[in-house]
Amino acid sequence: MSIRLDGVGLTHANGFAALQGVNLQIEAGERVAIIGSSGAGKTSLLRLLGTSLLPSTGELQLLGSQPARLRGQALRHLRRRIGLIHQSPPLPPRQRVVTAVLAGRLGHWSLGKALLSLCYPLDIAGAHAALAPLDLADKLFMRCDQLSGGQLQRVGIARVLYQGADLLLADEPVSAMDPVLADHTLGLLNRLANERGVSLIASLHAVDLALRHFPRVIGLREGRLLFDKPASDVSQRDLEQLYVNASLDSGESPPPSPSAVDAVNIPRCF
């Protein structure tokens, strides 16, 4: 089922308009990267799609529902279908990796089964199968606080793969990984999403990774869509316009130089 935003705006509680007039349609099974400078609104958009925030204006249709009209069980049911991959996965430090992965299905299980699984992992084979493609099968019984940041991010990915969601939302999913591992992990995430017919929407600062792994790329600037096109059509000019003055706005590293932004051909991390 598709996602549709019609004239969506999002104003945070302090009055800051993080998103304005966003029109967007994403079909089931599409894989989309969101790029843009720091503060452009990428996380705000993902939080809307994850239903932790509601639009201030406009209309959001998500997997056949309007989150703004759902309450209670109907909202919980919708949320079970959405897998969230966090930049820093909120995993309890003392929790075993196997338990953290199995927690992906807590929302699908009865209270009794969920509580039992927290004490004794009920589906060790399932957790192992989710971790294996991420090269973490040998970490099954380690504690989360014994893992590196990149390994924790991959546990978070294994957890949503185990969840079996219809929609995967990833906020900077490989930010803690070295460039080789980030490339491998994004490739894997895209392959698995593709094989399962699951929609994948990820925010990324690494423009080269967005262009290499995602068929469709959205450029967000100051809360508005600057472009929305196939990765192969994203031009150097698009990227220059997206990141112009970004270093002044955010205080972060300067925007990619014109030669460097020819990232379709030059694999580099920005």
Ligand X SMILES: Nc1ncnc2c1ncn2[C@@H]1O[C@H](COP(=O)(O)OP(=O)(O)OP(=O)(O)O)[C@@H](O)[C@H]1O
User: Given the complex with ligand X, which of 161 and 207 has the nearer CB atom?
Assistant: 207
By CB under 6 A, residue 251 contacts ligand X? no
By CB under 6 A, residue 86 contacts ligand X? no
Determine the interface stretch with ligand X among 39-47, 55-63, 66-74, 231-239 (rule: CB under 6 A).
39-47
Q: Which of 3, 5, 8, 18 binds ligand X (CB under 6 A)?
A: 18
Q: Which of 41, 83, 104, 256 binds ligand X (CB under 6 A)?
A: 41
Q: Find the shortest distance in angstroms from Cβ 223 to ligand X.
A: 7
User: Given the complex with ligand X, which of 86 and 105 has the nearer CB atom?
Assistant: 86
By CB under 6 A, residue 248 contacts ligand X? no
Q: Find the shortest distance in angstroms from Cβ 45 to ligand X.
A: 7
Single-letter amino acid code for the residue at 138: D
Binders of ligand X: how many residues, by CB under 6 A?
13
By CB under 6 A, residue 77 contacts ligand X? no
By CB under 6 A, residue 256 contacts ligand X? no
Determine the interface stretch with ligand X among 31-39, 159-167, 235-243, 257-265 (rule: CB under 6 A).
31-39
How many residues in the chain? Answer: 270
Q: Find the shortest distance in angstroms from Cβ 175 to ligand X.
A: 9
Pairing assessment for the beta strands 216-221 and 199-203 based on DSSP bridges? unpaired
By CB under 6 A, residue 36 contacts ligand X? yes
Q: Which of 40, 100, 157, 210 binds ligand X (CB under 6 A)?
A: 40
Strand partners, 10: 19
By CB under 6 A, residue 39 contacts ligand X? yes
- Contacts of ligand X in 95-124 (CB under 6 A): none
Q: In degrees to the nearest 10, what's the CA dihedral of 30, 103, 188, 126?
A: -110
User: Given the complex with ligand X, which of 127 and 182 has the nearer CB atom?
Assistant: 182
Residues of the shown chain interacting with ligand X in the complex, contacts defined by CB under 6 A: 12-14, 16, 18, 36, 38-44
